[in-house]
Amino acid sequence: MFSGIIEEVGTVQSFDGATLVVVADRVLDDLKVSESIMVAGACLTVVNTSGTTFTVETVPETLDRTNFGDLKPGTHVNLERALRYGDRVGGHMVQGHVDGVGTVRSIVVDGNSRVIVFAAPENIIENVVEKGFIAVDGTSLTIVGRNADSFSVAIIPFTFDKTTFGERSEGSRVNLETDVTAKYVANLISPYRAELEKDGARINPK
């Protein structure tokens, strides 16, 4: 489990489609083999460490769900170590289980912030609510607004400078994870959704 508070930005040293080696600093302080680490929003298991790098392994499911197909030497990635029980949770409860990939539609300066609009698949949008949480490349953010195929967030200067958001532009692909509470609620009501929609149609006929 993670909080979506990025500890540092690492650099991909190598990635062959299965084994990913990342150059880092701060997260290496107490990182051990077999522990979890979040890389660009994806929870992965550490299989090796050195003085300047850590290594994780990916599987086809990882590649199918994320933007890891875009990774190459020199690519920057957001990093966060797993939470300890008793730690403060400054963001929200993030699993590191990426739901899918979104695309930057626009970036607009608004005062001291950047408002970024992301296009996203239907399965993600249906679990997005205004003022709710979402993790974008592992970063915990508050949703400013949403419509049928996109949502927006406002990035403060600190987050913009200390994460990979400063490198994003229109068309950039990002990893998205919606709030786990929203997913549980959606799963619980899904068997009754069709009946609820019928009842709604009877109450509010067109």
For 99-142, the pLDDT digits (tens) are: 999 999 999 999 999 999 999 999 999 999 999 999 999 999 99
Same-domain status, 112 and 77: no
pLDDT higher than threshold 70 for residue 206: no
Same-domain status, 156 and 107: yes
Same-domain status, 110 and 176: yes
The answer to whether position 92 is within a domain reads no
- Direct distance between the N- and C-terminal alpha carbons of the chain, in angstroms, rounded to an integer: 45
**How much is the mean pLDDT over the chain?**
93
Q: The domain containing residue 121 runs over which residues?
A: 100-186
Please report the pLDDT score of residue 193 as a whole number: 72
The answer to whether position 173 is within a domain reads yes
Same-domain status, 137 and 177: yes
For 131-178, the pLDDT digits (tens) are: 999 999 999 999 999 999 999 999 999 999 999 999 999 999 999 999
Q: Where on the phi/psi map is residue 137: left (φ > 0), alpha (ψ -120 to 50), or beta?
A: left
Please report the pLDDT score of residue 89 as a whole number: 83
For residues 11 and 110, what is the distance between their CA atoms, to the nearest angstrom? 29
31, 53, 81: which is the final residue of a domain?
81
Mean pLDDT of 29-49: 97
Please report the pLDDT score of residue 192 as a whole number: 81
Model confidence at 199, in pLDDT bands (50, 70, 90)? low
Please report the pLDDT score of residue 149 as a whole number: 97
Mean pLDDT of 60-79: 98
| Centroid of chain to Cα 45 | 17
Same-domain status, 106 and 158: yes
Same-domain status, 68 and 105: no
Count of structural domains, the chain: 2
Same-domain status, 73 and 151: no
The answer to whether position 112 is within a domain reads yes
The answer to whether position 77 is within a domain reads yes
Same-domain status, 113 and 161: yes
User: The tokens of 128 are what?
Assistant: 């997005």
Model confidence at 205, in pLDDT bands (50, 70, 90)? very low
User: The tokens of 156 are what?
Assistant: 């403060």
The answer to whether position 47 is within a domain reads yes
For residues 70 and 88, what is the distance between their CA atoms, to the nearest angstrom? 33
For residues 1 and 9, what is the distance between their CA atoms, to the nearest angstrom? 19
The answer to whether position 203 is within a domain reads no
